[in-house]
Structure 1
């Protein structure tokens, strides 16, 4: 009996030790973020330490391309417990993610809207847009702007209209350099590149009732102008475009702040995207707003802690810290802070651009629309299809998608 009691005591002690060890390991949680690769993932890695320490957790950042984030997240959402707790969202994909039940309703989780966010950024995370529940918080305040090389374009006041931009690019071309650089690859690149010009000419893809209205005189004029502008320069992928403008190979391009702004400042000069063709033309909102948002997956293993992390990463204090690592703010208080303006004066251009920006069509089929529209636009700039046929074919392709 004594021997048995001895074994029993040892067994209990061993068992208790095992339980204590298990509890200790479980006390350190892991949250996983599917983050846009490049500067966005770098920013999160740079600022996450304080949150990890205060919440006894590890934040694992998985850098992915925009396409891979969408693909991986949609594939993973059918699993009972997801691979990702927080995902970075390109804001036009919000309707698709909502339809596919990817995102937690943050309002139902107890989140209350923060009015310090720039209004146009804050509303991007709502569904239905713009007055529904909140599903995502604005992390990075990207909005399209004109980026130009000051050695080739010496007078920023000459870029007030698209007609001014064409004249400036033709002058650069005549001097032996390239004028306007485009991203002419099918899909998101060329569609994003063309839409601000379409809008500036008064054209659009949809009316207020989501009827496709691309087949119009304004659309044809906008595309004819885009082709003329392209002839002053060249076609690049994203990295090539950035290098061309920074090096002085090309004069200017339409781009996003996260491409040209680092912790030490912008690598090119910045101007607003013109909202009209001639000085006497009607002015339209033209620059695409393209914020990257943070949302919580419906199959997150710890949605409450994931929400806490999202709030932390989008807080004013963290946004100020992130500026040193190339972060782009989404908060009014950060944009308007005197010390921020003194150190980053170009943020005034970004803040102005955000307030005058335009949201891309809110439809669950936006990715498909970019694909079919982009394919037609590429044919046009390559010269294998006329402007008229491009507009007609695009109208049909987009209408067919919407009617499926």
Structure 2
């Protein structure tokens, strides 16, 4: 039977599309939905009487706990038991361990990792950055501010661009929160972002705005990529999954203008392919049989070329590290990265935190006030859970 895969508008999915096109016998096609519409389309799929798509892309630790806890995703382990040869050829041990962990919740696996989106920092070469030798430059918030001030020559070149769109700003801010010793939730699952560390981090983040283009509060992936491609910004953070577009685009400044590092504590989210629970078991097994073949090592190397953020050890060979100028930083980022709390209610309260950070950044509220308001909302959501 034909299989349909639902995914967001991300360059990495071109690798899966090409693999399916090269194997018509799989009878598998992709439906790509704009990011702004993706969550709604996904939830309609997972809550329908029978899912209209046989596989869906989900962002690991961000949504898997919520969706798995609600019984909306099929655990894959029982299906793996019925497909042992395909599992062996898929080579699950080749998946980088930090990314493999994101595919699991409460002891069960719910997705096949496909690409990651974690923080890489693109910056103009500067002798003031300590030379890491064979290592990867680690660019903390203090270095961001210094590099931005050094490069700021508007309108020819702005010192910094921040991915501060209302739908992006929280993740852009997290490395600043962690650098101050703050976190989203503490070890007891209580809000931990509105204390002195969180306020300091948000004040420091807001203080960077004078180095940015005036409309940086509306910048998402596309805008950050464009400013880097044209060499019009001194330093900017974007996702590893955008690195190929930034560094390899025809006529782009790319590798000639920038080096690539990461934060000491970057954020990373791993996108993978999951199977809806609201499908017959035979259909679940059939689509997983295709996905195990489609998401193998060859496709992962294609993810590097299409997006920049492969998930397998075998994609980080010395030859690949030499070929792609961001790949060492991507590997370092994966092993340094932190995540959002693995909690079924995270998806229900993140909106309040996004809004608070954006309100502070745009001057609608003071950082302490904005975070205190978000803290009250988050406590309410957690109490309902």
Once residues 401 and 199 of structure 1 are traced to their aligned partners in structure 2, the CA distance between those partners, rounded to angstroms, is 23
Asked if structure 2 preserves the Cα contact closer than 8 Å seen for 1:263 and 1:326, the reply is no
Residue 144, structure 1, aligned to residue 119, structure 2: yes
**What is the DSSP-based 3-state SS (H/G/I as helix, E as strand, rest coil) of the residue aligned with 2:4?**
strand
* Match of residue 94, structure 1, among 64, 89, 112: 64
Query: C-alpha offsets along residues 49-87 of structure 1, whole Å, 9 cap, x if unaligned?
Result: 3443xxx33211100133433212222233343111111
CA contact (8 A) 2:229 2:246 kept: no
Structure 2 equivalent of residue 221 of structure 1: 200
**From 44, 49, 55, the counterpart of 2:16:** 44
1:312 to 272, 286, 293: 293
Deviations 1:82-137 (A, max 9, x none): 11111111221111211332211101212568221100100101012xxx111111
Q: Report 1:356-395 matches (<5 A).
A: 356-395=336-375
Match of 1:119 among 72, 78, 97: 97
Q: Report the counterpart of residue 210 of structure 2 in structure 1.
A: 231
Give the 5 Å matches for 1:95-244. Answer: 95-110=65-80, 114-128=92-106, 132-149=107-124, 157=130, 160-173=139-152, 177-186=157-166, 188-234=167-213, 235=216, 236-238=218-220, 239-244=222-227
TM alignment of 1:246-257, pairs within 5 A: 246-257=229-240
Match of 2:324 in 1: 344
Cα offset, 1:44, TM superposition: 1.5
Checking the alignment, whether the CA contact within 8 Å between 2:7 and 2:31 is kept in structure 1 is yes
Which whole-Å CA distance do the structure 2 matches of 1:367 and 1:189 have between them? 14
Q: State whether residues 145 and 208 of structure 2, in contact with CA within 8 Å, keep that contact through their aligned partners in structure 1.
A: yes
Is the contact between residue 148 and residue 245 of structure 1 (CA under 8 Å) also seen in structure 2?
A: no
User: Take 2:365 and 2:246, find their aligned partners in 1: how far apart are those partners?
Assistant: 43
Could you say if the C-alpha distance between residues 200 and 273 of structure 1 is closer, same or farther in structure 2, counting changes exceeding 3 Å? farther
Give 1:391 deviation, angstroms.
2.3
Secondary structure of the residue aligned to 1:60 is strand
Per the TM alignment, residue 154 of structure 1 is displaced from its structure 2 partner at its CA by 6.7
Deviation at 1:174, TM superposition (A): 5.2
Query: Structure 1 residues 178, 340: CA separation in 2 closer, same or farther (over 3 Å shift)?
Result: same
Alpha carbons 1:206, 1:213 under 8 Å: kept: yes
Matched with 2:26 is 57
The 1-side partners of 2:139 and 2:246 are apart by 28
8 Å Cα contact 1:288-1:359 kept in structure 2: yes
Counterparts of 1:372 and 1:243 in 2: how far apart (Å)?
29
Q: Is the 8 A contact 1:149 1:245 kept in 2?
A: no
Whose radius of gyration is greater, 1 or 2? 1
Query: What is the deviation of 1:270?
Result: 4.5
Aligned length: 356
Q: Provide the TM-score with structure 1 as the length reference.
A: 0.81
Larger deviation, residues 85-94 vs 384-393: 384-393
Q: Is the partner of 2:93 in helix, strand or coil?
A: coil
C-alpha distance in 1, partners of 2:53/2:319? 36
C-alpha change, 1:204 and 1:312, in structure 2 (3 Å) is same
Give deviations 1:127-183, integer Å, cap 9, x for gaps: 12xxx1111111013221112355xx5765486432122111112225763122112
Which range is displaced more, 359-368 or 257-266?
257-266
Partner of 1:271: 260
Q: Displacement of 1:48 after TM fit?
A: 1.6
Residues 245, 388 of structure 1: alpha-carbon distance in 2 compared, 3 angstrom cutoff: same
Hey, what does 1:18 align to over in structure 2?
Answer: none
**Preserved CA contact (<8 Å) 2:26 2:290:** no
SS at match of 2:185: coil
1:361/1:66 CA distance change after superposition, 3 Å: farther
1:71 counterpart (40, 44, 47) = 40
What residue ranges of structure 2 are gaps of 5+ in the alignment? 82-86, 132-137
Query: Cα distance 1:124–1:246, how it changes in 2: closer, same or farther (>3 A)?
Result: same
- Distance in 2, matches of 1:271 and 1:209, equals 36
Partner of 1:231: helix, strand, or coil? helix
